[in-house]
Structure formats: structure tokens, C-alpha cells
Amino acid sequence: MTRIDCHQIAPVIGDRAANQAKALTAISTSAAAGADIILLPELVLSGYMFESAQEARALAVTPDDAIFGEWADAAGGASLVVGGFPELGEDGNLYNSAALLDRDGVIAIYRKVHLWDQEKLVFTPGDQAPPIVDTPVGRIGVLICYDLEFPEMTRGIALGGADLIAAPTNWPYETRPEGDRPPAVTIARAAARTSRIPIACCDRSGTERGQVWNQGTSIIDFEGFVVATATGADDVATAEIDLLASRDKTVTPLCDAFGDRRPEVYAKMDQLLTSFGDYPRVIRPAVDRAAHAQALLTAGKLL
């Protein structure tokens, strides 16, 4: 069994030193308790509600920053760590990224492909497939938050051979019926069940510049059941999961989640889409981020 810990901590916007201290405490605490995989929230090093791209840039780091060596040291050599941070790319762009570390430091970086709302005014979307890393406890794939809402991403990682999807998140609060889970958790549960793969979603807590968060941290097993949650600020969700069990995609003796796929039919979907021609679709054109940001600034509505 593999022990997974997800720390629902509250980063302080703009205070990288304080956020690093919180991250190190979370990592060392879980490592001492025997966690195999430790997750931290999206953008845990910086906070999320940036007032401008310039503010995010001032907080961004590169993957070779000493910060991540400190994470690896705090893990004590036995634990893997996944956590989010604002990345300053070698191309000069800013990315909403997540790092996967082992005892030797960073072994993979993932840049969020699907940017949520005003993230588009701050970050450049990633253009690479998510990493799937073979580790001593199993094969780990990494996504970030909104990526989970795109079935192509979760199914793609599962088809790529991952045993677990590790997903740092910052889920803005969503209204819902009494006793219901956040819709984002429902989406993750569906993805886990349809591809029979565990998903660990590490959300954040606190209120930041008026934004309340779902506090929806959830560890979901390969059947789509939530097996652990965090209930409040600085709480931790802990679960032990047999990651290798997710390699068996059998649903019933006659049903297999992957064996029953019909790729030859799916390929015909391209023809179906082409046949619609100029059929009107409610899809907005790509946003000119710089122009849109300037318009929002002028209107006083930026973040």
C-alpha cells in the first residue's frame, strides 16, 4: 500500500518565505509519519490572487532554485513531493507549474495546459503533455486543477500507464446543494472511475483578497470513491492506496475500461466534426491576453 498525504494549507499571497516555511513543515511532518507521496496545493509558493503579471513575476522561480532542494531534504529521502509554483521559464514566460521531486531533487516539471479565467492574464499555457514518472511506488502523472475538467487529459494519462494522477489545485468556492461535494470533486471522481485510476487532489484553504476556496482536498480511489478529505485550514487528507491495483482495468468479467474502447470509431469523430462545416458553435476566439488585461485594468476589474 502507498500512503498519500495532501496538505490543505493556506499560502500567503506574496510572501514566499512564509509559504516556503509552511511547505517545509507540511513535508517534514508527513515524511516523519511515513508518507510515500506528499502533495501541496497549486501555487503554494506564491498564493494565487495576483494583482498583476508583474506581481507574479516577482515571485516566480526556476526549477533549479534552492527552494526545491529544501523540499527534497525535508522529505527525508523516502518520500516523493508534488507541489505548485509560479515558474519563470527559460523562454522568459511565466507558467503555472508543478514540480515532482524525489530524494535527489526535481525529476519532472509540468506546466498547466488549461488556464482558468484570469490566469490567462498572468501565465502562458503549457504546450507539453503531462509527465508520467516511474517511481519506486508506481507511475505518477501530474495535472493542475482545471486540467482535470478535460477528459482528454485524465484519460490520456491513464492510457499512458500512470498508476496515480497527482493534482495540486486552487478551487474557487462553488455554491452547491446542502451536503453535496464541490463540482470539481465530482468531475475528478468521474475521471477516476472511467479510467480506473486514483486521483489525489490537493486543494488550498484560507481567504485570499476576498476569494474563498472550496477546501475540496480529496483522495479518490480507482473506483471513483472519495477515501479521504481535508476538513479545514491546514488540515491533511491521508489515505493508503494500492496503486498497482489500478493497472487492472477489469470492470466485470465481460467489461474492461480500456479493452472495450473503440479507437477506430473515435477516429471517425473527426469526420463528424468536419461535416458540421460552419455550424455555429459557442466557442470564443483566443483572447489577446495583453489587450484584455489592459481593458480590465482601465475598468478597474483586474483580479
d(C-alpha 147, C-alpha 4), whole Å: 21
Map grid coordinates 494519462 to a residue: 157
Given 6, 112, 119, 201, which residue is catalytic? 112
What's the 3-state SS for 234-302?
A: CEEEEEEECHHHHHCCEEECCEECCCCCCHHHHCCHHHHHHHCCCCCCCCCCCCCHHHHHHHHHHHCCC
Tell me, yes or no, if 112 is annotated catalytic.
yes
What DSSP designation does 115 have? -
Q: Is residue 108 within 8 Å of residue 60, measured between CB atoms?
A: no
Q: What angle do CA 136, 141, 142 make, to 5 degrees?
A: 125
Is the alpha carbon torsion for 249, 228, 98, 145 positive or negative?
positive
Tell me, yes or no, if 145 is annotated catalytic.
yes
Tell me, yes or no, if 6 is annotated catalytic.
no
Q: Which amino acid is at 73?
A: D
Given 42, 87, 201, 202, which residue is catalytic? 42
Given 6, 145, 201, 202, which residue is catalytic? 145
Catalytic residues: 42, 112, 145
